[in-house]
Structures are given as structure tokens and as C-alpha cells.
Amino acid sequence: MESVPGVEATRLTKIYGHGHTEVVAVQDVTLRVARGEIVALLGPSGAGKSTLLTAMALINPPTSGQIRIGGQLVMDGDRALVDLRAFRRKNLGFVFQKANLIPFLNARENVQVALEVNDVPPRAAHQRAMELLEYLGVGTRADNLPDALSGGEQQRVAVARALANHPSLILADEPTAALDSHRGRQVMELFARVAHEHGTAVIVVTHDARALDVFDRTVHMEDGRLKNGKSPGG
């Protein structure tokens, strides 16, 4: 496994509210995920998993701590050191519990739009989108609107969109929650394949213990803190 850091959160703390209403969602968390590594982030509801994930996704600034992505310091406390939207465009991919496809675009266009906002010419974007959909086994559904796709197919399209710009980091928040166990496992295996074949760092928040064997490492969170981490074998 590569030792180049895909993402590195250092002493990350996120506090919501203040005074009597203050809630510490994430407290002093340090997490490093290498390129080509896929990590499961586990923990009970309210443990702070999603908060940590959205902080690393650069859409929920931490109260303190630092975030480095691809070796570049991008957040220092709640201060952004880069244009976050442009940085997300070039370096990050997202998959959520719901596929969140744009309903008025077909499967190919949902992938293509991620490429075009990153200044890929339409013809090249079209070709890349088709390649990704073929790679993920939904090439035949390219012209279908999201409504006409099954949950699993939608999630594959969402994964294709996340992969479109060759991100160095993919963040997935319970991506299999809406899928049956078979489909869920397929998606998890897909993430592992992407991480290992493309050298992408992948962090997956999940409650699904049935597919943990596909991860390189699991990390447990409770009450906003990391408890321990372990490899699938141990």
C-alpha cells in the first residue's frame, strides 16, 4: 500500500453552538488515510462520523485542527487556505446514502456534468462518462433518467460521478444504506477496486458490518473521538 497521504486530519475538533447549547461533535481527532487505501469509519449514531466526513469533504469547516489533502494544507481551523469549491472540483469525489443524481439529467449526463464543471470539453467528457459507466456495469443505462434506474444502478452512477475527475480522495457516507446486502457488498467492492486500481484514498462511513472484509482498515468513533483502528485481519 502507498504511504503517500491521501487525506490527513490533524487534531480536528468541531463544536456546534456555544454556551449552554454547545455540542462537541468531533473532538481532537487525528486520522490519516493513504492513497490507494480504503477505510471504514464505524460507530453508533451521533458518534460524529458524518461530521468528520463533511469536515474532510471541505463543506463543514472544523472549529480547530488542520486538514491536508494530497499533502496540501487546505484547512487550518475554520480558515480555508484554498478556493474550496475549486479544490473539491479537482480533488474530491462524494457518494451519499442516496445517490443524489440530478433528476433532469440522464445517467451519462449526471457523470458528464461533473467533468464539464471541471472544464473538460463536452466531447471528451461524454467519452469519459461512457467509459466510467461501462466500467461500473451501467453502460447500457446511460440514456435513462434516474427515475428509471434501480437503487443499485443509481448508486453506481453516483460512484461514476465521484470518480469522474480522478479524485485523490473519495468520501462516502453510508452509501449502501438503501441497498440490499448483495447490492451493498457490490458497491463496497467497487470502492475497494477503485482505491486499489486508481490509487484513490477512500473513506466510507457505514453501519453495515457484513462487508467490512473489503476494507483495508476500520476506524471506530464514539462520542466524537476515535477509539481504535484495525486491519480486517485483526
Partner 1 sequence: MNLAVRDVRHHAGRFVLTSVGIGLLLMIVMGMGGIYRGLIHEATLLVDRVGADLWVVQGSTRGPFAEVSRLPANLEDRVRAVPGVAVARRFVSHTFQREHQGRALRLVVQGLSWPEDRGDWAPLVAGRPLRQAHFEMIADQSLQLPLGERVRLGKDMYEVVGLTRGMVGSGGDGLAFLTVSDAMAVQFDVPGEAVRLERAARQARLENLDLGRVTPQLSERALGPTSELPALGPPQVSAILVTLSEGADPARVAATLSTWPDVTVYSTQQQKDLLLSGMVDKARRQLGLFRALLIIISTIIIALIIYTLTLDKIRDIALLKLIGARNRVIIGLIFQQALLMGVLGYALAWWLGGFAFPHFPRLVVIETADLVQLAFIVLGISMLASLLGIGKALNVEANTVLAT
Residues that bind partner 1 in the complex, under the rule CB under 8 A: 50, 54, 57, 59-60, 85-90, 94, 96, 100, 102-105, 109, 112-114, 116-118, 122, 125, 145, 161, 173
Q: How far is the CB of 58 from partner 1 (least distance, A)?
A: 9
Q: How far is the CB of 123 from partner 1 (least distance, A)?
A: 11
Nearer to partner 1, 109 or 216 (CB): 109
Q: How far is the CB of 134 from partner 1 (least distance, A)?
A: 20
CA-CA distance, 62 to 79, in Å (whole number)?
Answer: 9
Nearer to partner 1, 89 or 217 (CB): 89
Nearer to partner 1, 109 or 153 (CB): 109
Nearer to partner 1, 45 or 228 (CB): 45
Nearer to partner 1, 117 or 209 (CB): 117
CA-CA distance, 15 to 200, in Å (whole number)?
Answer: 29
232 contacts: CB under 8 Å, gap ≥ 6:
212, 213, 214, 215, 216, 217, 218
CA distances from 231 to 5, 7, 139, 224, 228 (A): 17, 18, 34, 21, 11
CB 160 within 8 A of CB 129: yes
CA-CA distance, 64 to 122, in Å (whole number)?
Answer: 40
Q: How far is the CB of 224 from partner 1 (least distance, A)?
A: 18
The residue assigned the cell 480533488 is: 91
CA distances from 65 to 54, 80, 130, 153 (A): 14, 12, 40, 38
Nearer to partner 1, 34 or 203 (CB): 203
Q: How far is the CB of 57 from partner 1 (least distance, A)?
A: 8
CB 185 within 8 A of CB 19: no
Q: How far is the CB of 165 from partner 1 (least distance, A)?
A: 8
